[in-house]
Amino acid sequence: MECLKRCATFLLMLAALAAAPAHAGKPYQHFVVGDGSNVVLPQPAKPAMVLMGGGPDVDAAFAWMIQKGGGGNFVVIRSRGTDAYNPYIYAKGGVQSVETLVIPSREAANDPFVAQRIRNAEALFIAGGDQADYLNYWQGTPVQAAIQELASRRIPIGGTSAGMMVLGRFIYSALNGSITSPEALANPFDKRITLARDYLAMPDLGSVVTDAHFDTRERLGRLVTFMARIVNDGWAGMARGIGIDVETALLVEDGKGTRVGLGAVTFVQSVGQPQVCKPRQPLTYLNLAGQRLAGGGSFDLRNWASYDGGTVGFTVSADKGVLLTR
């Protein structure tokens, strides 16, 4: 019995050491489970991404990322929070290590150690939080460059909620706080509608703005507003939007997306210029083409179409600030 007690104490000590942050006193936090030594694996043949809509995590999406990356070192980055993803992902098996980097400042994002750990990843996941932090703290730093390097090497990259929203070419940056659909439709130039572009160049997201928590927070109206601003302000002649429900993920490999989880994925494409998109005036933007992927099937992001019956089409309009769908 005494031997069992000593063994149990020893195991608890090991667990505590594994959970303790490395590099105490640094501007970042670094947590590792497993063997964190660098693994060198063949470069994946095809680019792979996970767009997750927030809320409860989708187990199948992490298993897919591990499989596409080939194992090795799975890295999670965030600006705040804990290492809760480490044991969750590591328990799925197939990886040598899972590590979390908490990068809460530009000082942390400029630390060479942080960028090197990201570059060593066989899969990278950007946790939820606040996308304004990810722009304010990471833009123009080695962290941003390291993420882009992974994308160029076709390393699987995913994100949930705010982490997903920074993957599109166009970003709702939320620098002045969040906004609801009715508020956005009532005034498309509300000070809370802050947009950014070209943070990352991810494959097949070149015309895309994304939004998370799409169903529970009724965000179709504000996604249409973001798209209206992108076109109205001359950032692009055409904009595409992807809205992801909670507990739902879109798995994208080589431009083809499949849905996993409990909810739906909504795809919207702009049609011409907004009819009315002016400060302090309700938005009018008519007849945008929508598609909803709720069951099986797939969606081709390159041709913006489903060829296997996976989506249900609809039309969405903002008419004097009122959202209409049919």
Burial bucket for residue 171 (CB in 10 Å: 0-12, 13-18, 19+):
buried
Rg (CA), the chain: 21
Task: Return per-residue pLDDT of the chain as tens, 326 residues.
Answer: 444 334 433 333 344 344 445 567 899 999 999 999 999 999 999 999 999 999 999 999 999 999 999 999 999 999 999 999 999 999 999 999 999 999 999 999 999 999 999 999 999 999 999 999 999 999 999 999 999 999 999 999 999 999 999 999 999 999 999 999 999 999 999 999 999 999 999 999 999 999 999 999 999 999 999 999 999 999 999 999 999 999 999 999 999 999 999 999 999 999 999 999 999 999 999 999 999 999 889 999 999 999 888 999 999 999 999 999 99
Q: Give the phi and the psi of residue 277 in degrees, each rounded to 5.
A: -145, 85
pTM of the entire structure?
Answer: 0.92
Partners of 252 in the beta sheet?
Answer: 49, 257
- E strand segments, 212-277: 240-244, 248-253, 256-261, 265-269
- E strand segments, the chain: 29-34, 48-52, 73-78, 97-102, 123-126, 157-160, 170-172, 195-197, 208-211, 240-244, 248-253, 256-261, 265-269, 285-293, 298-300, 311-319, 322-325
